[in-house]
Amino acid sequence: MAQVHFDPDRYLELMAEEVPDYERLQEEAAAATAELAPVRRILELGTGTGETARRVLAYHPDAALVGIDASEAMLARACSALPHTDLRVARLEDPLPAGPFDLAVSALAVHHLPGPSKAALFGRIADALRPGGRFVLADVVVPDDPVDEITPIDGIYDVPSRVDEQLGWLAAAGFTPAVAWTQRDLAVLVADR
């Protein structure tokens, strides 16, 4: 899942090749937001072409979504598909858009940050959420058994972490985290503030 793959024209084709359970991961991530209420403001980290945002907004059609992504080209595609969203070119390492948000969600983006940066990001997400707000993290993870390593990982731009490490960083950030779904090297974590 190297950076060169962030070509909006080939994005879904490449995801189908490299993340065979891409659709399931997206559906599980969106479903993990369903029971939260009220959801008026959503923060999305790594919006890309808008695949995750579209599914999450289907559960929360009246919510306003602010999405950030480092790729202007990917966001331009999302902007066409989701014209009523507020999409900003920014990095996950940057200060986050001003909260409070009810829900934060991120799919297949946080694994690009090394462990300490993931932990720092989780703290900034907690600060951006209202009390009772939720963070849903859907991502590639380091599985317990190497035989479950399905997604190509370059170890440079892709630096996934184990589920237990991420649960620990989420708890340290003040969340109550849990595993909502996992399969091989993919996981959806739900973290309530």
List interacting residues with ligand SAM (CB under 6 A). 1, 6, 46, 48, 51-52, 69-71, 74, 91-93, 107-109, 112
Cβ 131 to ligand SAM shortest distance, Å: 26
DSSP alpha helix (H) spans, the chain: 11-18, 22-31, 51-59, 72-81, 115-128, 163-172
Q: How far is the CB of 113 from ligand SAM (least distance, A)?
A: 6
Measured from the CB atom, is 83 or 131 closer to ligand SAM? 83
Give the residue with the Cβ less far from ligand SAM, 118 or 176: 118
Query: Least separation, in Å, of the C-beta of 68 and ligand SAM?
Result: 6
Q: Which of 78, 77, 105, 110 is nearest to 91 (CA)?
A: 110
Residue 190: strand pairing partners: 136, 178
Kindly tell me the sign of the dihedral angle through the C-alpha atoms of 193, 70, 83, 12.
negative
Residue number, 93 or 127, with CB nearest to ligand SAM: 93
Residue 178 Cβ, how far from ligand SAM at the closest point, in Å? 21
Q: Are 139 and 106 in contact (CB under 8 A)?
A: yes
> Cβ neighbours of residue 7 under 8 Å, at least 6 residues apart?
14, 73
- The nearer residue to ligand SAM, 98 or 147, going by C-beta atoms, is 98
